[in-house]
């Protein structure tokens, strides 16, 4: 079953899905009674925050059916929510499938589902259909809300269920979602991407850009806050172009002003910002906000204007640097982070030095550095002059050294200051310590107790340990 595009937006779709949930609840309750134990599920999430958010939606449906979460893949229902942004993301999934097969041989009740971005690629689905026949359900990024229906279909069929939609204009809301943290949550503000950066697979696997209605976003955040959430992360591949596709267009800056008004909400984060769409009014809103965190993730990908043009990024090196200047002028203390790709086709040593130059000029608190990975179907995959692996690796190592040197200098600049920390969890190594985050996203460990989780405290940042602080409650 493959759908080209789903145009019929059914208002009662969520209701329909909840009926499948109810039916499955009964079936699985019987199964659980027979086995004399609860049925378990495990979701492994690869990739970005969008996938993490989608996994919470999948978990919500599974919990409603009656499954109980477990830490490992020794479970009755296992889902891999996959990523395909770089080749190694795919390799990791294939690498783990053999292990799942061995588990399934031991547990006849086990059901294996594969979903997410990798499944939007025909070649992947063909390969799984042929070589990984033990997989029960394959679905994509546009129809995760259908999980219960797909489980139902698998129970009444002898073979693998495949349901991939090529694109959708449907946004199905009001289904259960199981949050990983009680006090912080991701909130989708838009889906998909229209930018078609020439190296990137995301627009092909996530479809066209669709913004959610502001009323729906605000309602969701209010509900989250009423349920104990103090920090939200607004999610979109390009949040700065939020609202363009709405019936009544609205800018991202305007949306933020409305979100800021929600009482009880303490911190607002967002990602990702595309430099081409970052407006001066957004800078103004950030500067005046009491809730927007002191952090901006602003990927630049390459410092070479020539490469940026071939990447289809729609800004030059100078545009980017002047944008950073405006941001820093408005918010001198802002923590900037970025993404950089090394070894894009045609990248010369001079182009690489331009990238290094941006890193030295901007001085990022941290940077995610990636070796270019060829994605079949993207324009860059067919470009001549792909950079040799050894050359790219050498540039990558030089870049990383620079990034890390600057990063450790910058992190320590807050040593000795008192800052607000949102406590997130008990420290994994030392249970007398609590782990929390500063507004700029840096981790802090300090003595405390688990009742502090989800609350904000003033902490003295006593000692910087490279990428985190050891602090003391004040
Ligand atoms: N929408 C975000 C990025 C999402 S993908 C943005 O535009 O900033 C996250 C990061 O993966 C990108 O910023 C890019 O640095 C990296 N990336 C994407 N495609 C890649 C590829 N083919 N090879 C290497 N890195 C890639
Ligand atoms: Fe990919 Fe570019 Fe869209 Fe980001 S903006 S998801 S890099 S196409
Ligand atoms: Fe990966 Fe899909 Fe995110 S390809 S980076 S999980 S949008």
> Measured from the CA of 200, which atom of ligand 2 is nearest?
1
Residue nearest to atom 15 of ligand 1 (CA): 339
CB 193 less than 6 A from any atom of ligand 2: yes
Please give the distance, rounded to the nearest whole angstrom, from the Cα atom of residue 200 to the centre of ligand 1: 6
Pocket of ligand 2 contains residue 380 by CB under 6 Å = no
pLDDT of res. 169: 76
| Separation CA 156–CA 176 (nearest Å) | 24
What separation in Å is there between the alpha carbon of 301 and the centre of ligand 1?
Answer: 8
Pocket test for ligand 3, best of 43, 50, 208 (most atoms within 8 A of CB): 50
In ligand 2, the atom with minimum distance to the C-alpha of 301 is: 7
Give the closest residue to 176 by CA, choosing from 65, 280, 91, 77: 65
By the 8 A CB rule, do 414 and 469 touch? yes
Phi, psi angles (nearest 5°) of residue 180: -70, -40
* Ligand 2 neighbourhood includes 208 CB (under 6 angstroms): no
Which ligand 1 atom minimizes the distance to the CA of 195?
A: 7
Amino acid 41: pLDDT: 98
Distances in Å between the Cα of 353 and the Cα atoms of 314, 399, 416 are 20, 9, 35
User: What pLDDT was estimated at residue 7?
Assistant: 32
Closest residue to atom 1 of ligand 1, CA basis:
237
**Sign of the alpha-carbon torsion through 268, 238, 324, 342:** positive
226 CB-contact burial (10 Å; exposed 0-12 / middle 13-18 / buried 19+): exposed
Q: Is 373 in the pocket of ligand 1 (CB under 6 A)?
A: yes
User: What is the atom index within ligand 1 of the atom nearest the CA of 201?
Assistant: 19
Tokens of residue 85, six digits: 């942004």
How far apart CA 252 and CA 233 sit, in angstroms, is 14
| pLDDT for res 13 | 87
Say if strands 456-464 and 468-473 run parallel, antiparallel, or are unpaired. Answer: antiparallel
**Spacing, Cα 28 to ligand 1 middle (Å):** 40
Q: Using CA atoms, how far apart are residues 12 and 20, in angstroms rounded to an integer?
A: 13
Nearest CA residue ID for atom 5, ligand 2: 195
pLDDT at 5: 34
Residue nearest to atom 12 of ligand 1 (CA): 339
The tens place of each residue's pLDDT in the chain, 474 residues long, gives 333 333 333 558 888 999 999 999 999 999 999 999 999 999 999 999 999 999 999 999 999 999 999 999 999 999 999 999 999 999 999 999 999 999 999 998 899 999 999 999 999 999 999 999 999 999 999 999 999 999 999 999 989 999 999 887 777 777 778 888 999 999 999 999 999 999 999 999 999 999 999 999 999 999 999 999 999 999 999 999 999 989 999 999 999 999 999 999 999 999 999 999 999 999 999 999 999 999 999 999 999 999 999 999 999 999 999 999 999 999 999 999 999 999 999 999 999 999 999 999 999 999 999 999 999 999 999 998 889 999 999 999 999 999 999 998 898 889 999 999 999 999 999 999 999 999 999 999 999 999 999 999 999 999 999 889 999 999
User: Which residue ranges have their beta carbon within 6 Å of ligand 3?
Assistant: 47-48, 50-51, 83-85, 117, 202, 205-206
Ligand nearest to the CA of 272: 1
CA of 369 to the centre of ligand 3 (A): 16
Structure tokens at 7: 């145009």
Tell me the CA–centroid distance for residue 371 and ligand 1, in Å. 10
Structural element, H or E, at residue 121: none
CA of 34 to the centre of ligand 2 (A): 49
Q: Look at residue 77 and give its three-state secondary structure.
A: strand
Question: Is the shortest distance between the CB of 379 and ligand 2 below 6 Å?
Answer: no
Contact by Cβ (8 Å): 271, 239: yes
Beta bridge partners of 470: 445, 463
User: Which residue's C-alpha comes closest to atom 1 of ligand 3?
Assistant: 83
State phi, psi for 73 to the nearest 5 degrees. Answer: -80, 0
Q: Which helix (H) or strand (E) holds 219?
A: helix 214-226
**pTM exceeds 0.85:** yes
> Is cis: bond before 224, omega within 30 of 0?
no
Q: What is the DSSP code (8-state) at residue 301? A: B
Provide the 3-class DSSP secondary structure of residue 362. Answer: helix
């Amino acid at each position: 079953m493959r759908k080209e595009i789903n145009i019929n937006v059914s208002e009662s779709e969520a209701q329909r899905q909840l009926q499948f949930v109810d039916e499955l609840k009964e079936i699985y309750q019987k199964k659980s009674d027979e086995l004399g134990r609860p049925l378990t599920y495990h979701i492994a999430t690869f990739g970005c925050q969008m996938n993490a958010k989608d996994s919470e939606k999948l978990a919500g449906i599974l919990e409603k059916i009656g499954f109980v979460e477990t830490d490992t893949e020794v479970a009755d229902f296992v889902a891999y929510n996959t990523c395909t942004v770089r080749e190694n993301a795919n390799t990791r999934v294939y690498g783990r499938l053999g292990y799942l097969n061995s588990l399934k041989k031991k547990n006849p009740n086990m059901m294996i589902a594969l979903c997410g971005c990798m499944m939007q690629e025909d070649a992947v689905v063909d390969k799984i259909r042929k070589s990984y026949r033990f997989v029960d359900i394959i679905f994509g990024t546009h129809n995760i809300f259908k999980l219960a229906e797909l489980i139902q279909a698998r129970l009444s069929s002898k073979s693998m269920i495949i349901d991939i939609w090529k694109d959708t204009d449907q946004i199905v809301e009001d289904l259960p979602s199981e949050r990983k943290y009680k006090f912080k949550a991701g909130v989708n503000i838009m889906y998909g991407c229209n930018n078609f950066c020439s190296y990137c697979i995301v627009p092909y696997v996530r479809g066209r850009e669709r913004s959610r209605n502001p009323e729906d976003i605000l309602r969701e955040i209010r509900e989250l806050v009423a349920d104990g959430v103090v920090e939200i992360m607004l999610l979109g591949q390009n949040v700065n172009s939020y609202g363009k596709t709405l019936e009544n267009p609205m800018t991202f800056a305007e949306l933020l002003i409305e979100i800021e008004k929600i009482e009880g909400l303490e911190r607002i984060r967002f990602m990702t910002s595309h430099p081409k769409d970052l407006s001066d009014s957004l800078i103004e809103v950030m500067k005046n906000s009491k809730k927007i965190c002191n952090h901006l993730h602003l990927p630049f990908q390459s410092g070479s204007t020539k490469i940026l043009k071939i990447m289809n990024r729609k800004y030059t090196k100078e545009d980017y640097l002047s944008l950073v200047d405006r941001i820093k002028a408005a918010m001198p203390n802002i923590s900037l982070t970025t993404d950089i790709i090394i070894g894009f086709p045609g990248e010369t040593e001079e182009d690489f030095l331009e990238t290094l130059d941006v890193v030295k000029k901007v001085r990022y608190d941290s940077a995610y550095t990636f070796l270019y990975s060829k994605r079949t179907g993207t324009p860059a995959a067919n470009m001549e002059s792909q950079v040799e692996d050894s050359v790219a690796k050498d540039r990558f190592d030089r870049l990383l050294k620079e990034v890390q040197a600057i990063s450790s200098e910058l992190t320590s600049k807050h040593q000795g200051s008192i800052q607000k920390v949102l406590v997130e969890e008990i420290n994994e190594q030392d249970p007398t310590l609590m782990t929390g985050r500063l507004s700029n996203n840096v981790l802090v460990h300090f003595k405390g107790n688990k009742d502090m989780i989800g609350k904000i405290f003033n902490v003295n940042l006593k000692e910087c340990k490279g990428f985190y602080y050891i602090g003391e409650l004040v």
